[in-house]
Amino acid sequence: MNICGKEIEYNCNGVLMKGYFAWDSDANDSLPGVMVIHEWWGVNEYVKSRANMLAENGFCALAIDMYGNGQQAENPDQAGEAMNSVLGDMEMGTARLKAAYETLISQDEVDSERTAAIGYCFGGAMALHMARTGMPINAVASFHGALGSFHRPGPGEVKAKILVCHGEDDAMVTMDDLSGFREEMDLAGVNYKVIVHPGAQHGFTSKEATANGEKYGIPVGYNAKADTDSWSAMMELFDSCFN
């Protein structure tokens, strides 16, 4: 195994997007491709590390850029502004997801028939949006992601299997939000699974979450067990879709 990583530039409606692609250069066959969608901080080292982890586990992974030009936020005010610029124009957001998907499947190392999207916080919402709008991916996993819908799918519209990993003590995405999500998925006949991680707060997969929560006074925190368990659940999902 020889894990490699490189910056990838692509374009969406005249905006330069800067992603990060990780893969095993020793692999003899094309591998499933996974889009990794960042938190509100942008394409930072955390989301790149997740792409590397996926490469170590037998996937090709593209950490995508939802903000343009590889923009990264330095504080919650900047992060919120960048995130809301996308959430306030989901036609643009959808176009950026599609451009990233096309970039992923255009890589020689990727099997375009086996694809998935995962996301964290804001990125979880974007991964779920890909599923809701019927993009041609096999699986979606959301980690402490926002669950509100920008597009309510009809029966048969969602093609992907969906996994939602949610923190029981998440103060930013509530259990009521989760109930609404379940109802939406049930009405659309979606193949989905929800895991509620006991004692986990928003941001439970990021080892920087606890320090960020203390620094900025926001209710986020790392939870090692939830981090490990949610990653294992994602791997089970991929195994069911790709093997």
Phi-psi label, residue 58: left if phi above 0, alpha if psi -120 to 50, beta otherwise: left
Give the confidence band of 243 by pLDDT, cuts at 50, 70, 90: confident
The answer as to CATH 3.20.20.140 being correct for domain 3-242 is no
pLDDT in tens, 63-81: 999 999 999 999 999 999 9
- Residue 150: both structure tokens together: 């920008």
Where exactly are the structural domains of the chain? 3-242
pLDDT in tens, 81-102: 999 999 999 999 999 999 999 9
Computed over every residue of the chain, the mean pLDDT equals 97
Nearest in space to 165 (alpha carbons), one of 131, 198, 194, 185 = 194
Per DSSP, the three-state class of 208 is coil
Are β-strands 3-12 and 15-24 bridged in parallel, bridged antiparallel, or unpaired?
antiparallel
* pTM exceeds 0.95: yes
Contact 138, 110 (CB under 8 A): no
